[in-house]
Amino acid sequence: MVARMKKYILIVDDEVGTLLAYKKLLSSATIEVHTAETMEEAEQLLKKQHYAVVIADLRLTGILGREGLELIRYIKELSSDTECILVTAYGSPEIREEAYTLGASHYFEKPVSPAALKEALASLNLEK
């Protein structure tokens, strides 16, 4: 029997409740979920661990309200094979277009249904 390699997902959101809900939804025997509340915390984790997927909120605790886009840019420079999913409660066609231009695999406006999130991960070969 061949052991399946564990994959890592990083979730970045300034709402602790969202982090806990996503972690519970997505964790499995083959998927380990890490969380970060700030862009700085996410950057530190990204330097230590390779993540298959990063799910990031657009607005974190910064002034600009676009930290999620900056995080996608940072991730793609650091590890171009890491998939990015952007979620936001403040969506617009312009934000969606910029997210995809920066390399996001998926874009969702909150609230994101568990089924939609799992389907997105399945399309990236990360289903439970």
Write the CATH number for 39: 3.40.50.2300
The pLDDT value given to residue 62: 65
Backbone angles phi, psi at 99, to 5 degrees: -60, -45
Total domains present in the chain: 1
Task: With respect to residue 1, please indicate whether it lies within any of the assigned structural domains.
Answer: no
Residues of the chain scoring pLDDT < 50: 1, 128
Task: With respect to residue 53, please indicate whether it lies within any of the assigned structural domains.
Answer: yes
Residue 57: in which H helix or E strand, if any?
A: strand 53-57
Residue range(s) defining the domain that contains residue 84:
7-123
The pLDDT value given to residue 61: 76
Q: Which two tokens stand for residue 39?
A: 């862009």
The pLDDT value given to residue 126: 80
Task: With respect to residue 128, please indicate whether it lies within any of the assigned structural domains.
Answer: no
